[in-house]
Structure 1
Amino acid sequence: MVDLPRHVRGRPNPSGRMYFSFEKFRGTERAWPVVPLPESSRGDEFWRRCRQCEALAAERTGDGWAWAWVSASGRSYPLPPPRGGDGQASFWAAVDAAEARDKADDGQARKTFDALIEFYKTQPAYEKLAPLTKRDYDRHLVKIGQAWGSAPVASLTAVLAQEAIDLQSHTPAGARYFRAVLSKLLSFGAARGYCTSNVARITEKVEHEVEPHKPWSDKAFEAFFEHARPGLHLPVYSALYTGQRSVDVVTMARPAPGANAIELIARKTGAEVFVPIHSEYREILTRTHIDHPALHLREDGAAWTLAAYRTAWQREITSKTSKGGPAQVSAAKATAMKTLRDGAFVFHGLRKNAVNMLLEAGNTEAEVSAIVEMSEQMVRHYSRDVNKRRLAINGMRKLEECWKETRANLFGPGAA
């Protein structure tokens, strides 16, 4: 049997089942009332309760006992008596609450990372983040808490921050995001007295070249629409004609008959999006109309969820079954799906197709930005190839316009 902590006693009942309790000063005049513990000594809860018992204080009063939990810092938190049944549950809930409160109080007093993160999450700077951005922030805030949670924010040095960033260098995108969130948190804390400076600012920037998504080629569209399962088709059209992200496309509500636009709230930015319906897209919506509030449906008539659509997409493109084995497909389909894989044509690339089409039609970057819910800076990033083509076309047109004069200068006035 495992050695039990001091004052913890285990005893079997007639059936042999073990019961455990904390019995301080047992057998003496100072003996405390028995504190029942979890029945199994194998779980984490048992050992956590044993540790908490070490911080208990009990004092005999005129009509019973007064209980408290005393933290390492000396703070005392009153507790209800540890009775059986619901009383026992209330006792341990009070112990947990006291421990959490002391951790918060201690964190605030010492201005720790745990306290800063908790405070940051109550402020507009965090609340105004879009849901997907907040999710990514939370992931890195957890990492920051794991690294330095109980440490004072002011104790962090640039060297320690750089070491934490370097530990994530195997995923450059993650390391860069971690550094950005840490810097944001430290700037927030510095302005509120948690530290005197943002040491993350002087850490080394993570070099990470984002590979741009490729717009789909005519061959890619042909391969997809001829061979991919029909239930995947309409979201591709919707992405192409609206330029929205998959998280917004797949879950689109069906526009009312006669509606002039697709309207939604972008989940990444929280912005309202208004996309006028293109005439060809309207025809597609009319042909595929079904009386269902969701726009994108599976072949069985149920609405797609984003997770289900992504799973179905992956299985289709890789020609895999639900169990991960090779699917039985025709040679033509296998070739078509290989074309999509080899060309790195992914759903997000359709967003670039949409941006390119809008720019090629002569729209300004501001107009494109308003339609696809993308910053003008990102539109410029997406449109580098389009701008090159546009510049080339404009340059050649100007050459055509002044060709007679240019030709004469090149070959002389007498050239045929």
Structure 2
Amino acid sequence: MDQSGPGVRRGQPRDRRAQPLHRIDRHADRKTFDALITAYKAHPAYGGLADLTKRDYDRHLKAIADAWGSEPVAALTSVAAQEAIDLRSGTPSGARYFRAVLSKLLSFGGARGYCTSNVARITEKVEHEVEPHKPWSDKAFEAFFEHARPGLHLPVYSALYTGQRSVDVVTMLRPAPGANAIELIARKTGAEVFVPIHSEYREILTRTHIEHPALHLREDGAPWTLAAYRTAWQREITSKTSKGGPAQVSAAKATAMKTLRDGAFVFHGLRKNAVNMLLEAGNTEAEVSAIVEMSEQMVRHYSRDVNKRRLAINGMRKLEECWKETRANLFGPGVA
């Protein structure tokens, strides 16, 4: 005979509420942020990310673990999530990325029983207008190539003629003799990139050729690492020594480096130069996207100034074509 009493099914405790809390919630104890992050990192959703994206995700996942690691995911409120986002409001891009990673993590956890809702979705979106870096001016190129240390030069040419990101440019392998293209795997997106070699870039590669697998070398012949190149770049542009003190440079070089600093000309701006050159040559957004490994939407964003120039040139050409009639209408016939 069933002695369980009314409302209790056979095989279940008479009163589940009477059990010790640690026994009732022993499964829930594993539904913490630490456990969720571990599960997420073991899943293809994380494993399939590009290396650079993983690096950025890891930074924010660590921040999430530091804040709530031992706490149940289901206990997070939208208020607590918003407070964490607001703490990062001093750097809008960082706050926006943190919110995105948190939302991605909660969505992953929601489908696996860690939580019943994604509280990050109802937090305020971080307003942050991403403006592309400035393309380099003729004066900036002149200042750089005349005064910057020679070991920094070739990566600048490579960035200009391939349109790739610094993380892919600095570590490029030297193309084989007679190769028609630079081929690589973009570290940010994991996509295969095929960039035909421009004739002038080929001349530069030939002129600077050294028998080494790496394309970009320091003055001592050792290959640049990304970190070392960025450090050397920063010291050169700021005219600082390795210890952070002022470097002894000529007045002309100091002026040239100040031109680059004041104009906010940075390495990534060369990518916009490449996009602009391709667009001004009449390439479609899809063609530019294929070369520089950038979304067509971002190419379109970069192209705003180029399109304005095109419109201005076309407008003035049309005025020139009908100027005789326009001039007569404006000033009257026979007016000199």
Same fold judged by TM-score > 0.5? yes
Structure-2 separation of matches of 1:392 and 1:133: 39
Match of 2:9 in 1: none
Equivalent position of 1:143 in the other structure: 63
Cα deviations by residue, 1:262-302 (Å, 9 ceiling, x for unpaired): 00111111111000000000000001111100001111111
Map 1:303-314 → 2, pairs under 5 A: 303-314=223-234
Q: Residue 108 of structure 1 contacts residue 115 of structure 1 at CA under 8 Å; is this kept in 2?
A: no
1:400 deviates by 3.2
Among 42, 50, 54, the alignment partner of 1:134 is 54
Please state how far the C-alpha of 1:108 moved relative to its aligned partner.
Answer: 6.0
Tell me the equivalent position of 2:273: 353
Aligned residue identity for 2:200: E
Query: Which of 372, 393, 396 does residue 313 from structure 2 map onto?
Result: 393
Distance 1:277 1:404, change over 3 A: same
SS in 2 for 1:263: strand
Alpha-carbon distance in structure 1 between the residues aligned to 2:329 and 2:305: 32
User: Comparing both structures, which one devotes a greater share of its residues to strand?
Assistant: 1
Amino acid at match of 2:305: D
**Partner residue in 2 for 1:256:** 176
Relative distance call for 1:111 and 1:276 in structure 2 (3 A) is same
CA RMSD of aligned residues (A): 2.1
User: 1:213 maps to what in 2?
Assistant: 133
Give the drift of 1:172: 1.7
2:146 matched residue in structure 1:
226
Q: Give the distance between the partners of 1:303 and 1:243, measured in 2 at CA.
A: 21
Question: Counterparts of 1:323 and 1:107 in 2: how far apart (Å)?
Answer: 53
Pairwise CA distance, 1:184: 1.1
Residues of 2 paired with 1:299 and 1:236: CA distance? 15
Given that 2:28 and 2:72 are in contact with CA atoms closer than 8 Å, whether structure 1 keeps it comes out as no
Displacement of 1:408 in angstroms is 5.2
Is the 2:132–2:272 contact (alpha carbons within 8 Å) kept by the matching residues of 1?
no
**Structure 2 CA distance for aligned equivalents of residues 107 and 342 of structure 1:** 58
Alignment deviations for residues 300-343 of structure 1 (CA, whole Å, 9 cap, x no partner): 11111111111111111111111211111111111111111111
- The aligned counterpart of 2:11 is none
Could you say if the C-alpha distance between residues 384 and 151 of structure 1 is closer, same or farther in structure 2, counting changes exceeding 3 Å? same
Which moves more between the two structures, 228-237 or 396-405?
Answer: 396-405
Alpha-carbon shift at residue 413 of structure 1 (Å): 6.6
- What whole-Å deviation, never above 9, does each CA across 1:362-399 have from its counterpart, x for those lacking one? 11111111101111111112222111111211222233
Q: Partner of 1:292 in structure 2? A: 212
The 1-side partners of 2:65 and 2:245 are apart by 40
Gaps of 5+ in 1: 1-71, 76-104
Residues 107 and 114 of structure 1 are in contact (CA less than 8 Å); yes or no, is this contact kept in structure 2? Answer: no
Bigger Rg, which one: 1
Is the 8 Å Cα contact of residues 352 and 382 (structure 1) preserved in structure 2? yes
In 2, Cα distance between the equivalents of 1:413 and 1:186? 75
Equivalent position to 1:378, from 282, 289, 298: 298
Matched, 1:267 2:187: yes
> CA, structure 1 residues 74+298, in 2 after alignment: closer, same or farther (shift >3 Å)?
same
Aligned equivalents of 1:334, 1:272: Cα separation in 2: 40
Q: What is the aligned partner in structure 1 of residue 238 from structure 2?
A: 318
